[in-house]
Amino acid sequence: MKSLWDDAEAARFEGDLGLRVYTSRLLGRDKSLVLHGGGNTSVKIREANRFGEPEDILYVKGSGWDLETIEPAGFSPVRLAHVVRLAGLERLSDPDMVNELVTHMTRAAAPAPSIETILHGAMPFRFVDHAHADAGLAVTNTADGERRIREIYGDRVLVVPYRLPGFDLAKLVAAEFAARATPGTVGVVLLNHGIFSFGQSAREAYELMIELVGMAEHHLASQKAWDVVPAPVPATPEIGALEFAGLRRRISDAAGAPMLLCATANAKTLAFARHPEVARISQQGPATPDHVIRTKRVPMLGTDVDAYARAYREYFAAHAPQAKEPKTMLDPAPRVVLDPRFGLAAAGRTAKDARIVAELYDHTIDVILRAEALGGYVALPAQDLFDVEYWDLEQAKLRKGGKPPAFAGEVALVTGAASGIGKAAVAAFLARGAAVVGIDLNPAIATLHDRPDFLGIVGDLTDTDGVARALDRAVLAFGGLDMLVLNAGIFSPGRAIAELPDDEWRRVMRINLDANLALMRAAQPLLRLAPRGGRLVVIGSKNVPAPGVGAAAYSASKAALTQLARIAALEWGGDGIRVNTLHPDAVFDTGLWTEAVLAERAKRYGLTVDEYKKRNVLRTEVTSRDVAELAAELCGPLFARTTGAQIPVDGGNERVI
């Protein structure tokens, strides 16, 4: 563990708050120190108040900010004198503590201060750094962790037993500090939780943290418990897409809402899932209680969701009576799944949530294997973990998220997704909270969006094997398939039937019709497993109800596709799959229509380009986005009772009406 302090970089930050921002980011850069909110920092600064009087302000990390990307605005300014007085109270409930802190800030718009604010305020040092370092957790999550910590640090740190974060912990640490701190005390180790380091400067506190964590790493290395990379195994998943989608369906049912299930099959997760003692080492609890809210207490081993949910109910029934207040059970679905066939899979309502769960468990694997090498992994007692999982403050934080978006936990696949209506459909489904898979021949699809809820696959839909592989990838990435938008197609050049060559007719049919049939056939078993029922949207054409001369192959292919969709609506309705078709017309913002083509067409009709674009009953322009938004809405609750429909999106066409 090395200090990342850089004088030139540090010089760009001004004053104590600036340097507080800088070293907080340095801590945040190292995921083995702070992972997804697993740490916080503070600085005490004397400022003039509104009356010109000097006042000490505790700037402490505000909730909702990540150390890696924190800004000055991410620190909550709390009046230090009040914080110190609070620490002297006999008792203070969590909600009262939060209220006291929020009402004693000097900036009304600042975020709520960290739950560990009183602890930061009670430590008589200008800079206080706090991290949940992996190395420290590996040492303390063992049977003789406390002895080892004392051996590693001697008198340099105070050792405090595990306690739920908040007022009681702050009080305990303050009392220990008052009773036992010496001039040589540079930090505090909270067993099974994390490390505090202190300093009069930002650099001093930060580099002490690096030194303290480095000492734990060194201890692990000296005990041959640092490099615990498991024996390499072939990193290829061995589960079929259909079975994986079935697992995701059962997890969604147990959760009471659609969930994504994201497989992370790599050498490390596969080796851990195949570890001969995985049942013992994975079923004790997480490396630190603050993971429990996201990962649940233990992962599911294998794929028996009913058994997992039963065990969760028993865990709740056994530990809820010991809680201070009555608790309502959370959903009993697992968030982490370990299976020898795919290593690790993480469940979440969003791809971001699932990714965080996977990262937390990836670090947990390191901690468990290192603690095992040190003599045996021992997690906190289940009651302590329960108290964090059902901690009112944490639950309130999670609930703050508000109503989830319409397609939260669902997966949409869009073909021809790199441009035009397909690209707009990707955006429309992402905006509604779905994870989206886009397929296109154009390699640009791979980098269309850089976000955890998008997967771009370069592929040719006329290649049946390629389509099957793309579906497999999509299912392992997100867990299944709920919505499918058949958009890819080609428009053949205008040609009278008398001049239409066989090969052109066949090419159009192969792409616009045969490829869609193959994809529908392959997708149907997955759509059947969609927790809210599968949905298929076919992008047809105005040419179906109102064909034009010279477009025989295109119109016939779209008409056949529309008929195929109607039959699918009949055949699949019993499985809850809805199939609807849109007939767009005159969508000019696609690759097919260049400025020159538009100008030429408009001229032919004696119109301006604008008039030509709005040549419909409503005199309105139809864009890719209009079609895409309607495609997404067709998959939503407004159309929950509609299947087999054909809806024009053409501004009104006299021949169609």
Letters for 145-184 (x = contact with Zn ion by CB under 5 A, - = none) are ----------------------------------------
- Tokens 């969604």 correspond to 252
CB of 115 to Zn ion, least distance (A): 8
- Kindly indicate which of the ranges 76-84, 146-154, 190-198, 498-506 contains the residues binding Zn ion, using the contact rule CB under 5 A: 190-198
- Kindly indicate which of the ranges 186-194, 412-420, 505-513, 523-531 contains the residues binding Zn ion, using the contact rule CB under 5 A: 186-194
User: What is the CB neighbour count within 10 angstroms for residue 327?
Assistant: 18
What would the two tokens of residue 51 be? 């009356």
Cβ neighbourhood burial of 460 (10 Å; 0-12, 13-18, 19+): middle
Side-chain-facing half-sphere of 611: CA atoms under 13 Å: 8
CB of 40 to Zn ion, least distance (A): 7
User: For Zn ion, which is the closer residue by CB, 188 or 241?
Assistant: 188
DSSP 3-state assignment of 409? Answer: coil
CB of 288 to Zn ion, least distance (A): 8
- Taking the C-alpha atoms of residue 201 and residue 125, their distance in angstroms, rounded to an integer, is 9
CB of 217 to Zn ion, least distance (A): 19
The dihedrals phi and psi of 225, each to the nearest 5 degrees, come to -120, 20
- Kindly indicate which of the ranges 187-195, 266-274, 617-625, 630-638 contains the residues binding Zn ion, using the contact rule CB under 5 A: 187-195
CB of 133 to Zn ion, least distance (A): 11
Residues in contact with Zn ion, counted by CB under 5 A, come to a total of: 1
DSSP classification of residue 345? E
User: For Zn ion, which is the closer residue by CB, 138 or 631?
Assistant: 138
Binding status of residue 194 toward Zn ion by CB under 5 A: yes
User: For Zn ion, which is the closer residue by CB, 170 or 233?
Assistant: 170
What would the two tokens of residue 397 be? 């934080």
Query: CA dihedral defined by 76, 354, 379, 333, rounded to 10 degrees?
Result: 120
Binding status of residue 480 toward Zn ion by CB under 5 A: no
Q: Which of 188, 207, 298 is nearest to 23 (CA)?
A: 207
Binding status of residue 113 toward Zn ion by CB under 5 A: no
User: For Zn ion, which is the closer residue by CB, 162 or 491?
Assistant: 162
- Taking the C-alpha atoms of residue 291 and residue 360, their distance in angstroms, rounded to an integer, is 7
Residue nearest Zn ion (C-beta atom): 194
CB of 84 to Zn ion, least distance (A): 20
162: amino acid identity, one letter: Y
**What phi-psi label fits residue 479: left (phi over 0), alpha (psi between -120 and 50 degrees) or beta?**
left
554 is catalytic: yes
Can you list the positions of beta strands (E) in 260-370? 260-264, 300-301, 336-339, 343-348
User: What is the CB neighbour count within 10 angstroms for residue 293?
Assistant: 19
Q: Of residues 153, 308, 361, 554, which has the active-site annotation?
A: 554
User: For Zn ion, which is the closer residue by CB, 194 or 246?
Assistant: 194
User: For Zn ion, which is the closer residue by CB, 194 or 531?
Assistant: 194
Binding status of residue 422 toward Zn ion by CB under 5 A: no
Contact 535, 483 (CB under 8 A): yes
CB of 193 to Zn ion, least distance (A): 6
User: For Zn ion, which is the closer residue by CB, 130 or 341?
Assistant: 130
- Kindly indicate which of the ranges 194-202, 247-255, 488-496, 508-516 contains the residues binding Zn ion, using the contact rule CB under 5 A: 194-202
Applying CB under 5 A, the residues found at the interface with Zn ion are: 194
Catalytically active residues are: 554
